[in-house]
A and B are shown apart, each in its own frame.
Chain A
Amino acid sequence: MMNNTMQLPESSRRIFLQRSIQALAVLSTAPMIIACDSLNQPFAVEPVIVAAESRSNGPLNDIELNILSAVTDAIIPQNGAFKTGASDVNLALIINQHLAYADQDIVTGLQGSLAFIEHKTTAIFGKPDEQFSQLSTLVRTKILVSMATLDGIPVQIFIALKTLSLFFFYTTKACWNDIGHQGPLIQQQEQKL
């Protein structure tokens, strides 16, 4: 029982990236993001959230992973109504692992969106000299919430990253315990045997 999935060729584990990624792929060609071109710029702050050796072969580099972690942590922070947050499950790493099987235009879209988040959103919200990933979780959350009220690219990026983060977060067992979700019945049956 339940062994075929594990034996499938790796290619069949192709990422499910949902509607968010579709939007990101479109965004990859948005002039505003291309103009940003920040991925080639040196970052003032060394990324500290994600260690290089734990990137797990995904396409995002350390800098991009750091920004993605800052985003996912702001969308699903630790504590509050329930304990587990994105950082508890290394959500950015999970997403990066799935991206290993994504089309290049999707990856490019995500990279562009992360650059936009890191360098443009702070200016829009009155903090032009700072970078998104340097801000506190609370401020990052406020920026993302504000993005949801705007039209055009900011709201599309916000919704794309929100969708991406929530989908993969709720595939993790850690959060299931917090909300009372039992998870697959098949695993419970196997554990009993």
Chain B
Amino acid sequence: MIYEGEQISAALNLTTDTVVIGSGAGGGVSAYHLAKAGVKTVVLEEGGRFQAKDMSQREEQMYPQLYRAGGQQMTSDGQINVMQGSAFGGSTLINAADVTPIAPEVLAHWQHHHGITEITEQALAASYKRVRAQMGVAPVKQNLINNNNNLILDAAAKQGIKAGIFDTNRKNCIGSGYCMQGCAYDAKQGTNLSYLPQASELGAQIYTDVRVDRIEKLKNGFYKVHGMVIERGLRTPKYPVEVIAKRIILSAGAVHSPAILKRSGLDKGLPQLGKNVSLQPQMVVGAQFEQHQQMNSQRGIPQSVYLAEYDNNTVEHGLGGYRIEGIGGVLANMVTGLPGIADQHKQLMQAYLHTHYSLLLIPDQPSGEMRWKYKENGAVVPIIDYKISDEWKSRARDAVRNISEFFFKAGAKKVYFSNHSFPVLESIDDIDKADLFEISPGLTTLISAHVQGTCRMGTSAAHSVVNQNLKLHTDENIYVIDASIMPTTASTHTMLPIMAMADYAIHKMLATS
């Protein structure tokens, strides 16, 4: 059964085998396989359940409903907008539906630098296969690749550089272009469609609009999860929730999973909890072409093509380099960081239809740390302290130069970035201005869609939070299964890595318990 908060009219007291906290990539997959194995499972999701009929394709309406903190979650210096889904299906409801595995170099990096010897491509192979089948993963269909994305493919081919088409978890997509505001056509196969309903049919009890605050360890070895039924929208608490269970699967995401552990006093002996934050920051790139070169970035699959020429993944540092990926369908959000105001801005936007838009994605090394405050109503207020490294800034300037050159060679008349102080580049002769590209709070508008690392996996409690079974080093029956377990950023898109790790960990747990 799936129970929504508005259906609950009194305090909830439940007993179960396993509680799954969160219903996104980690929680959804975990709940399904537990239920399938006959384990009595309760899923608690803080966000609401929204279905295709609820998706208005209006940014000002959907961000507040589907995103963590209404889309306002920021690093403490205000520089990076950390986007996370917070609804039935978690971020799989609002992501770009790009399916990318963990790069082999990343797994090798984890092995050599973090002692992760068990999570190998071979070990994950069966999980990848199951996840891809469950979500119906296939390459993006050619007819859904718009001109905005095709431009990358065509220009890369002409310039003899590497680009590719994403795999995606969409079925019967009509290319409306509004994926990031929740799919209004049930095409995107997030856990809201591909795992949770099936888990429910197999007996899992799923509760939405239930915020988990802490986990109490009982003397008999069981756990009591304390939470609140909350009102959708402002998320004010309504009724207390208590669930007694033998096992906890924490899948609340890289911001809130460590917060729950900390608040529960389960951080003792885990000095890395909340540390090692990776954000993989991104910025918008605009490349203006001749008027007849219509990009149609607003329709088709917004993000279907990537430029891989500047990927630099190595055993030494894991994911590196940078890449661009087409983007669209987020007009209001996208334009806010573009340069200029008044007529300078209007001139750029007048060329909207013949401007190519991409996101420049630059993987990072763990550079942040979490802190938490609590509101009077019990809700946690996460504080993400994140410092952009000089190495990242240097790579960003290199990216500005090379990506600008790429677009000018493709015929662009202007190239610009989401930087309030950096000028619009008018020709290939301007690309040396990349050396002046300033990256500081306020001036550069950055977005993160892949926060990771706050409960990282490793071999000891001194250096990590969970072991290679994704179990806390300090507790036998608490698992963390979400983006927080990644020792370094796993992939340019983290949905598939999280889901594969969830599938792997749950199957291993079931086989040994």
Contacts and interface: CB of A to CB of B under 8 A. Distances in A.
Interface of A: 1-5, 8-23, 26, 74-77, 80-82, 98, 101, 141, 144-145, 148-149, 155-156, 158-159, 162-163, 166-171, 178-187
Contacts of B70: 14-17
Contact of A141 (B53, B233, B342): B342
Interface stretch (B210-218, B345-353, B405-413): B345-353
B57 A82 contact: no
26 contacts: A5-B56, A11-B234, A12-B233, A14-B233, A16-B72, A19-B336, A20-B336, A75-B342, A75-B345, A76-B342, A76-B345, A80-B346, A80-B347, A81-B346, A144-B341, A145-B341, A155-B443, A166-B332, A167-B336, A170-B335, A179-B350, A183-B57, A184-B58, A185-B174, A185-B178, A186-B176
B298 A81 contact: no
A106 B210 CA distance: 26
B267 interface: no
Given A18-B71, A80-B346, A145-B341, A179 B64 contact: no
Contact of A11 (B231, B335, B349): B231
Interface string B49-71: 01101111111110111010011
7 smallest beta-carbon distances between A and B, as pairs: A12-B233, A184-B57, A11-B233, A81-B346, A80-B343, A170-B332, A185-B176
Nearest to B80: A19
A76 B341 CA distance: 7
Interface string B208-245: 00000000000000000000000111101000000000
Contacts of B67: 16
B506 to A, nearest CB: 33
A140 to B, nearest CB: 9
A155 to B, nearest CB: 5
Contacts of B333: 18, 167
A80 B346 CA distance: 7
Contacts of A75: 341-342, 345
B280 interface: no
B331 A8 contact: no
B71 to A, nearest CB: 5
Nearest to B339: A148
B59 A171 contact: yes
A120 B338 CA distance: 26
B299 interface: yes
Interface in B292-330: 298-299
Contact of B346 (A17, A74, A82, A168): A82
B420 interface: yes
Given A3-B53, A18-B333, A166-B332, A26 B64 contact: no
A105 to B, nearest CB: 11
Contacts of A1: 53
A74 B341 CA distance: 8
Contacts of B64: 12-16
A186 B299 CA distance: 12
Contacts of A22: 72, 74, 78
B298 A4 contact: no
Contact of A166 (B55, B61, B335): B335
Given A16-B70, A82-B346, A181-B331, A26 B420 contact: no
B221 to A, nearest CB: 40
B353 A179 contact: yes
Nearest to A17: B72
